[in-house]
């Protein structure tokens, strides 16, 4: 039985594909091709282009998932990983359009979705990662593919490769991870970016860095446009990340002005989606995991602080659009729909109950509890995405509800598998 889920955008129109053709770069792919890489088969519609190649396999011709699975065996406390016998179909590009793309931090949450998109589009992708917060399992479905390479490397050390585009993502992104070793975080931001910019200079590759809304700190301006300089505490516990990204931006524009490196700066606002580390303390994954486990959901502070959340596919659309546009100024990429954290907790609780009911289980209503706010946690943050709209013709399409439903289905499956 297929229960392929329909995704409706903000105007109520069905989303069947993500990406677009713009700036001479085609990045449009069917949504179900991507979903086959992270959702269970029964949620994904059959992918026409793949059914041809699997006629010999009765079961697989009806199926569409290309997940390599991990299966936990409670009795022996062991885990088995399945490997793939075939890969999702990728576009056959002429060599003149095929790009050699380096993705640092490509085994992380954002990186793995970017890798999926670039691979399906037919490009050659090299992932550089030290696996500090990322995991090989996020991209294991591509290992062995002729267009894919994965290198264990710390960006703090120099690295040389011929490439056309560099997406520089490597950096822990959640407070517990970046605070775990603050000195290393700032080294990664500074030296990692220095090394990757040096590589871009030598190879004449175009360089995109994933900066963050944290460069605005605890802002005095709402929403935050790109020309707002920010309000950051330079010595607080978050400074290693916030100031690290600020100095990384400074370096990026230094190389641009001094050496003519072709740069792009994306300031990303809170993003969520499948493959986010469930235990890294970010609010979306915290709430979902707590609600799925039937535990109390923890809100830090009085819950009146607001946040905006964008779904991963919107972010990847924005990153690819920016990389292939002519815009060298920083560009905010985020979803402006603002929620108080308390409202958001209730929304997550409702969606978890809906998905549990869909799967035939009787949900248990969990409580929402309040704890003191950590130091320097910004009260309010919302992107002004006018620039992205004007120069990239980009705006978010996914509603928070639609994105959350996918993420809940993903986490629920992982929990049932035993890998969460
Ligand atoms: N997810 C968000 O909401 C968000 C918001 C703003 C900015 N960003 C930025 O996007 C990028 C990706 O974030 P994410 O959410 O995917 O985080 P993540 O922690 O899932 O991914 C980061 C990846 O970088 C790797 N890495 C860390 N230090 C490294 C080093 N020294 N050398 C090589 N690899 C290293 C990690 O192993 C991991 O795979 C980061 O630069 C982050 O600052 C993310």
Distance of CA 378 from the midpoint of ligand 1 (Å):
20
The ligand 1 site (C-beta within 6 Å) comprises 104-105, 107-111, 129-134, 154-156, 169-173, 188, 192, 210, 212, 268, 270-271
Distance of CA 29 from the midpoint of ligand 1 (Å):
24
pLDDT tens, position by position, 376-393: 666 677 899 999 999 999
Distance of CA 109 from the midpoint of ligand 1 (Å):
7
Whether the per-residue pLDDT at 2 is higher than 60: the answer is no
Torsion of CA 311, 317, 323, 326, to 10 degrees: -120
Of ligand 1's atoms, which has the minimum distance to the CA of residue 270? 3
* Of 109, 127, 137, residue with least CA distance to 166: 127
pLDDT for 305: 87
pLDDT tens, position by position, 237-253: 999 999 999 999 999 99
Whether the per-residue pLDDT at 348 is higher than 50: the answer is yes
| 3-state per-residue secondary structure call for 311-333 | EHHHHHHHHHHHHHCCCCCEEEE
- Best substitution site from 115, 172, 312 to test ligand 1's pocket, by max atoms within 8 Å of Cβ? 172
The two three-digit tokens of residue 38, written as one number: 């992270």
| Rounded average pLDDT over 96-117 | 97
More confident residue, 55 or 224: 224
DSSP-derived secondary structure letter, 108: S
Residue identified by tokens 């607080």 is 236
Whether the per-residue pLDDT at 263 is higher than 60: the answer is yes
pLDDT for 47: 55
Most confident of 72-76, 185-189, 284-288: 185-189
**392, 399 in Cβ contact below 8 A?**
no
- Best substitution site from 104, 114, 127, 134 to test ligand 1's pocket, by max atoms within 8 Å of Cβ? 134
The DSSP string of 121-182 is: TT-EEEEEE--SS--GGGSGGGTT-TTEEEEE--TTS------SEEEE--S--SHHHHHHTH
Of ligand 1's atoms, which has the minimum distance to the CA of residue 184? 31
Nearest CA to ligand 1 atom 42: 173
Give the CATH number of domain 274-314+337-382+400-420: 3.90.25.10
The two three-digit tokens of residue 69, written as one number: 């699975």
Distance CA 20, CA 321 (A): 9
The DSSP string of 6-30 is: P-BBTTS-B--EE--EETTEE--EE
| Rounded average pLDDT over 199-211 | 98
Of ligand 1's atoms, which has the minimum distance to the CA of residue 111? 16
**190, 248 in Cβ contact below 8 A?**
yes
Residues 6+ apart with CB under 8 A from 6: 14
Q: Three-class SS of residue 290?
A: helix
Nearest CA to ligand 1 atom 32: 154
Has 180 been annotated as catalytic? no
Nearest CA to ligand 1 atom 23: 105
Average pLDDT, the chain: 90
Nearest CA to ligand 1 atom 44: 173
215-219 long-range contacts, CB within 8 A, separation 24+: 215/242, 215/245, 215/246, 215/249, 215/267, 216/381, 217/242, 217/378, 218/376, 218/378, 218/379, 219/378, 219/380, 219/381
Report the range of poorest mean pLDDT among 54-68, 143-157, 179-193, 267-281: 54-68
Quickly state the pLDDT bin for 280 (edges 50, 70, 90).
confident
Distance of CA 170 from the midpoint of ligand 1 (Å):
5
Of ligand 1's atoms, which has the minimum distance to the CA of residue 213? 6
pLDDT for 51: 44
Distance of CA 180 from the midpoint of ligand 1 (Å):
14
| Rounded average pLDDT over 344-369 | 92
pLDDT for 62: 37
CA–CA–CA angle 291, 297, 299 (5° rounding)? 145
pLDDT for 84: 66
Whether the per-residue pLDDT at 26 is higher than 60: the answer is yes
- Best substitution site from 130, 173, 180 to test ligand 1's pocket, by max atoms within 8 Å of Cβ? 173
Helix (H) or strand (E) holding 259: helix 239-259
Report the percent of the chain where pLDDT is more than 90. 72
Report the range of poorest mean pLDDT among 3-7, 57-61, 366-370, 412-416: 57-61
Whole-Å CA distances, 146 to 35, 86, 87, 124? 22, 12, 10, 8
pLDDT for 46: 61
Q: What is the pTM of this model?
A: 0.93
Catalytic one of 66, 241, 410, 411: 241
pLDDT for 57: 45
Distance of CA 174 from the midpoint of ligand 1 (Å):
8
Domain ranges of the chain: 274-314+337-382+400-420
- Best substitution site from 106, 110, 140, 265 to test ligand 1's pocket, by max atoms within 8 Å of Cβ? 110
Beta strands in 170-217 (DSSP E): 206-212
Distance of CA 129 from the midpoint of ligand 1 (Å):
10
Distance of CA 108 from the midpoint of ligand 1 (Å):
6
Report the range of poorest mean pLDDT among 153-157, 162-166, 248-252, 284-288: 284-288
């Amino acid at each position: 039985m297929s229960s392929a889920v329909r995704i409706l955008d903000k105007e109520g129109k069905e989303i069947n594909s993500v990406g677009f053709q713009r700036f001479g770069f085609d990045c449009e792919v069917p949504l179900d091709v991507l979903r086959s890489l992270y959702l269970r088969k029964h949620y994904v519609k059959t992918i026409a282009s793949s059914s041809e190649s699997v006629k010999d396999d009765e079961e697989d011709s009806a199926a569409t998932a290309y997940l390599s699975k991990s299966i936990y065996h409670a009795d022996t406390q062991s885990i088995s990983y399945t490997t793939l016998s075939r890969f999702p179909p990728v576009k056959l590009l002429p060599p003149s359009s095929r790009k050699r793309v380096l993705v640092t931090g490509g085994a992380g949450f954002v990186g793995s979705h970017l890798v999926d998109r670039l691979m399906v589009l037919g490009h050659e992708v090299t992932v550089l990662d030290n696996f500090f917060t990322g995991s090989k399992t996020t991209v294991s479905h591509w290992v062995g593919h002729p267009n894919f390479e994965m290198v264990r490397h710390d960006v703090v050390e120099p690295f040389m490769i011929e490439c056309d585009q560099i997406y520089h993502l490597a950096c822990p992104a959640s407070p517990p991870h970046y605070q775990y070793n603050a000195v290393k975080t700032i080294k990664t931001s500074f030296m990692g970016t220095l090394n990757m910019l040096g590589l871009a200079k030598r190879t004449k590759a175009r360089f995109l860095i994933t900066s963050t809304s944290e460069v605005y700190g605890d802002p005095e301006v709402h929403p935050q446009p790109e020309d707002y300089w920010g309000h950051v505490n330079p010595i607080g516990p978050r400074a290693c990340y916030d100031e690290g990204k600020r100095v990384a931006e400074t370096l990026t524009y230094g190389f641009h002005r001094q050496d003519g490196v072709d740069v792009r700066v994306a300031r990303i606002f809170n993003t969520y989606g499948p493959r986010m580390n469930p235990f890294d303390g970010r609010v979306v994954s915290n709430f979902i995991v707590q609600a799925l486990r039937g535990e109390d959901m923890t809100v830090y502070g009085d819950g009146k602080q607001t946040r905006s959340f964008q779904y991963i596919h919107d972010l990847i659309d924005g990153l690819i659009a920016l990389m292939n546009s002519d815009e060298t100024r920083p560009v905010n990429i985020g979803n402006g729909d603002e929620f108080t954290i308390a409202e958001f907790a209730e929304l997550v609780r409702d969606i978890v109950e809906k998905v549990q009911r869909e799967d035939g289980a009787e949900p248990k209503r969990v409580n929402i509890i309040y704890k003191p706010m950590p130091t320097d946690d910004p009260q309010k943050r919302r992107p002004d995405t006018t620039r992205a709209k004007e120069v990239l013709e980009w705006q978010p399409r996914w509603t928070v509800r639609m994105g959350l439903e996918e993420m809940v289905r993903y986490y629920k499956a992982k929990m049932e598998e035993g890998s969460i």
